[in-house]
Structure formats: structure tokens, C-alpha cells
């Protein structure tokens, strides 16, 4: 299932494989927080909203395959995003 997740870029899309309990997040969500937003076309508040509204509602044990670095889980990133919001 394709999930539109603007923020890194306006057209950023993640792909959720329900049967495999996996989401491929590219540059939207990394292990440890939001992905890259240092480009002219990126927007930090938008990437946070995409993660909170479209990725964090996935099952807690969903494996997050990031575009860079180690894999993580939705549960771990819920904790991370709670800290980012402070």
C-alpha cells in the first residue's frame, strides 16, 4: 500500500507491506526520528505531520526499513517522536 508522506519532498511516498509487517520509509523516517529536511523542497513540520498521522498509526511491531541506517520499529519511533515534540 502506498502512503503519501510529504515532508522530505512534496511527493514522498512510503510503502507498507501488510503481509510482511514492514514499511519502507526512504528518507521520511529514520532510526531515531524524522528523515532529511535540509533541502529547499523539504519541510520539517510537514514531515513530522506525515510521520504522526500516516506512519505512527501502523501496528507497533511494524518493521521500518529506512533509506539510510539501521532498521527500527513503529513502537520505537513512537517513543522517539514523543521526545521530539517536547
Task: Return d(Cα 8, Cα 32) in angstroms, integer.
Answer: 16
pLDDT of residue 72: 98
Average confidence (pLDDT) over 75-80: 96
Arch. (CATH architecture) of 2-84: 4-Layer Sandwich (3.60)
pLDDT of residue 83: 84
Average confidence (pLDDT) over 13-40: 95
Sequence ranges of the domains in the chain:
2-84
CB 57 within 8 A of CB 42: no
Task: Please state the pTM of the whole predicted model.
Answer: 0.92
**CB burial class (10 A; 0-12, 13-18, 19+) of residue 75?**
middle
pLDDT of residue 5: 98
pLDDT of residue 56: 97
Amino acid at each position: 500500500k502506498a502512503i503519501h508522506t510529504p515532508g522530505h519532498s512534496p511527493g514522498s511516498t512510503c510503502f507498507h507491506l501488510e503481509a510482511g509487517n514492514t514499511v519502507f520509509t526512504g528518507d521520511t523516517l529514520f532510526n531515531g526520528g524524522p528523515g532529511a529536511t535540509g533541502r529547499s523542497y523539504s519541510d520539517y513540520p510537514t514531515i513530522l505531520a506525515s510521520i504522526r498521522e500516516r506512519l505512527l498509526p501502523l501496528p507497533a511491531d511494524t518493521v521500518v526499513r529506512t533509506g539510510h541506517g539501521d532498521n527500527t520499529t513503529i513502537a520505537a519511533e513512537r517513543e522517539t517522536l514523543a521526545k521530539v515534540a517536547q
